Amino acid sequence: MDITYSKRPHDGLSCVNRLKIFTARQLEQIPQVRRLPETTRRAIRIVARVLPFRVNRYVVDELIDWDNIPNDPIFQLIFPQPGMLAHEDFERIGTLMDADAPQSDVEQAVREIRLRLNPHPAGQHLLNIPELGDNRLAGMQHKYRETVLFFPRQGQTCFSYCSFCFRWPQFIGDEKLRFAASQTDLLQRYLMKHREVSDLLLTGGDPLVMRTKRLTSYLLPLLSDEFAHVQTIRIGTKALSFWPHRFVSDPDAAELLQLLEWLVKNGKHVAIMAHFNHWRELSTPMAREAIRLVRSTGAVIRSQSPLLAHINDDAEVWARLWREQVRLGIVPYYMFVKRDTGASRYFRVPLAKALQIYREAVTKVSGIARTVRGPSMSVGPGKIEVQGVAEVQGEKVFVLRFIQGRNPDWVQRPFFARYDKHATWLDHLRPAFGKDEFFFQPEYRNMVDNAKLQNIDAA
Ligand SMILES: *Cc1c(COP(=O)(O)O)cnc(C)c1O
Ligand code: SF4
């Protein structure tokens, strides 16, 4: 690699350059938290016993407005809130903790509550795990024909945790709930065999918590001819938001930029699948410098986010987010509906309202920012977009379509559900026009049944 980037931290960017992480145990070491009322701190401690908590100093100091607690969107994004647990669960853990109950009692209660939070939405374990000979490749998912997801074992954490994250079971150390891979050779053999795969998506956690050296060992081999069909390398990351220093001032930031540039120069499309929930995350000098540097490598930054109550359930927030992204050269990509897992009761937004926010936000921006699709639900059968509300022969309906389907033939076919202003997820929706099932359901049921049979055979 013959490309060089300055390794020095950039002058004039005032910030702490070393990643300082706080977990639940170090909560009281955060100066801003120490100044919060005891009731708020107790609530954080209780919820953080059940759901993952992790934050770094940059997020605390530069993204959160501590004069606006608890409503600040980034505070809501990071810090556990009492409403994230059912009232009785919150009280149960609170009582145990206040009474200094034995660890094993608290842990038992925590386990029970976690299992009720739907740790495995959308049948990911049953249906998406690819196979190679007799090996089940546990650190991979292959759901849509063109794209393979790879979860490198060293990338199973993040620079901070989002309180709404559907990957939360991966962070609480429950081995059964984890999938992660360490073997690059299996990934390579799988990709070699599957010529239909055009995209590799490195995901996590956040794969950019890995050192550049490790990342290079995963990605550089893909430049050889056997992988010519893998034309796009996507990296799913929230580093631009939570730790932009990863691209600017980390000891191996320059090498990371070189790697991206090298992949681009050798014919790959490199897509940084960034995750921005709020325009505030784009506002710091460090974030802007990171975005500038990533773009200078030829990689394209695309942005996606779920729509979340308490954080961004407001059309103006989205319009500003997209406008700001376009200004900085980021392509708006997806607006997701919050999955039905973890603290979903706290964050969920009815589909009807999500649609309204999407429409209102899209109408405020020019066509350049209307590359964003949504609101989209990731469910077992595929990614389903709520396109609109219509009235057909006197019946009010949601118009839906697959953006991605487990069967590619399902994609782009409009279908209809009865309008329901409270529905927050696909399984609340009923087919319109007196039908019993959506068009894809019999075929999907077969897929699930077959997978179950195969699993029993293998056991
Ligand atoms: C969203 C997603 C992809 C990528 O889909 P695109 O529409 O190509 O961005 C791939 N695999 C899984 C499991 C997904 O959820
Ligand atoms: S950065 Fe991504 S994977 Fe990590 S907690 Fe946030 S949403 Fe989840």
Which residue's CA lies nearest to atom 12 of ligand 1?
A: 143
Residue 182 pLDDT more than 70? no
Which residue's CA lies nearest to atom 4 of ligand 1?
A: 147
> What pLDDT was estimated at residue 184?
76
**Alpha-carbon gap, residue 141 to 53, rounded angstroms:** 26
- Residue in this structure with the two tokens 């893909």, named with its chain if needed: 222
Q: What is the mean pLDDT of residues 207-211?
A: 96
Among residues 162, 76, 170, 160, the alpha carbon closest in space to that of 119 is found at: 170
Best substitution site from 404, 406, 411, 412 to test ligand 1's pocket, by max atoms within 8 Å of Cβ? 404
406 alpha-carbon distance from chain centroid: 20
Among residues 241, 242, 248, the alpha carbon closest in space to that of 292 is found at: 248
Q: Picking from 233-237, 281-285, 340-344, which range would have the lowest pLDDT averaged per residue? A: 340-344
| Closest ligand 1 atom, residue 201 Cα | 10
Cα(202) to centroid(ligand 2), Å: 13
Share of the chain above pLDDT 70, in %: 91
The burial of 122, by beta-carbon neighbours within 10 Å (0-12 exposed, 13-18 middle, 19 or more buried), is given as: buried
Residue 68 pLDDT more than 70? yes
Q: How far is CA 11 from CA 7, 60, 324, in A?
A: 12, 22, 24
> What pLDDT was estimated at residue 185?
83
Using one digit for the tens of pLDDT, what is the confidence trace for 117-163?
877 765 555 677 888 887 778 789 999 999 999 998 888 899 999 99
Which residue's CA lies nearest to atom 6 of ligand 1?
A: 404
Q: What is the mean pLDDT of residues 240-250?
A: 98
**Alpha-carbon gap, residue 373 to 336, rounded angstroms:** 9
Contacts with 157 (C-beta within 8 Å, 6 or more apart), sequence order: 54, 171, 204, 205, 206, 209
Cα(414) to centroid(ligand 2), Å: 31
Among residues 440, 304, 448, 444, the alpha carbon closest in space to that of 376 is found at: 304
The type of residue at 233 is: I
**Alpha-carbon gap, residue 288 to 327, rounded angstroms:** 11
| Three-state SS sequence of the chain | CCCCCCCCCCCCCCCCCCCCEEEHHHHHHCHHHHCCCHHHHHHHHHHHHHCCCEEEHHHHHHHCCCCCCCCCHHHHHHCCCHHHCCHHHHHHHHHHHHCCCCHHHHHHHHHHHHHCCCCCHHHHHHHCCCEECCEECCCEEEEECCEEEECEHHHCCCCCCCCCCCCHHHHCCCHHHCCCECCHHHHHHHHHHCCCCCEEEECCCCHHHCCHHHHHHHHHHHHCHHHCCCCEEEEEECHHHHCCHHHHCCCCHHHHHHHHHHHHHCCCEEEEEEECCCHHHHCCHHHHHHHHHHHHCCCEEEEEEEECCCCCCCHHHHHHHHHHHHHHCCEEEEEEECCCCCCHHHHCCCHHHHHHHHHHHHHCCCHHHCCCEEEEEEECCEEEEEEEEEEECCEEEEEEEEEEECCHHHECCCEEEECCCCCCCHHHCCECCCCCCCCCHHHHHHHHHHHHHHHHHHC
> Is residue 319 within 8 Å of 365, Cβ to Cβ?
yes
Q: What is the mean pLDDT of residues 378-390?
A: 96
> What pLDDT was estimated at residue 281?
98
Neighbours of 7 (CB within 10 A): 12
Q: What is the mean pLDDT of residues 375-393?
A: 96
Best substitution site from 58, 84, 206 to test ligand 2's pocket, by max atoms within 8 Å of Cβ? 206
| Cβ 404 under 6 angstroms from ligand 1 | yes
> What pLDDT was estimated at residue 118?
77
Q: Phi first, then psi: give them for residue 402, nearest 5 degrees.
A: -80, 130
Q: Name the band, by pLDDT with cuts 50, 70 and 90, for residue 443.
A: very high
Reported residue count of the chain is 459
Rg of the chain (C-alpha set): 22
Residue 174 pLDDT more than 70? no
> Is residue 342 within 8 Å of 104, Cβ to Cβ?
no
Q: What is the mean pLDDT of residues 327-352?
A: 92
Cα(305) to centroid(ligand 2), Å: 11
Residue 8 pLDDT more than 50? no
> What pLDDT was estimated at residue 3?
44
Residue 11 pLDDT more than 50? no
> What pLDDT was estimated at residue 98?
95
| Cβ 376 under 6 angstroms from ligand 1 | no
104 alpha-carbon distance from chain centroid: 32
Among residues 132, 129, 214, 143, the alpha carbon closest in space to that of 180 is found at: 129
Q: How many Cα neighbours within 13 Å face the side chain of 173?
A: 6
| Closest ligand 1 atom, residue 146 Cα | 8
> What pLDDT was estimated at residue 181?
59
Which residue's CA lies nearest to atom 8 of ligand 2?
A: 165
Residue 4 pLDDT more than 70? no
| Cβ 158 under 6 angstroms from ligand 2 | yes
Six-digit token pair at 368?
């350049």
Using one digit for the tens of pLDDT, what is the confidence trace for 289-321?
999 999 999 999 999 999 999 999 999 999 999
The burial of 224, by beta-carbon neighbours within 10 Å (0-12 exposed, 13-18 middle, 19 or more buried), is given as: exposed
Six-digit token pair at 144?
């849509």
Best substitution site from 158, 278, 334 to test ligand 2's pocket, by max atoms within 8 Å of Cβ? 158
The burial of 425, by beta-carbon neighbours within 10 Å (0-12 exposed, 13-18 middle, 19 or more buried), is given as: middle
Pairing of strands 382-392, 147-150: unpaired
Residue 240 pLDDT more than 60? yes
> What pLDDT was estimated at residue 175?
52
Q: What is the mean pLDDT of residues 82-86?
A: 93
| Closest ligand 1 atom, residue 128 Cα | 13
> What pLDDT was estimated at residue 455?
67
Give the chain's domains with CATH numbers.
Answer: 1-19+119-349 (3.20.20.70), 21-115 (no CATH), 374-459 (no CATH)
Best substitution site from 241, 275, 303 to test ligand 2's pocket, by max atoms within 8 Å of Cβ? 275
> What pLDDT was estimated at residue 121?
64
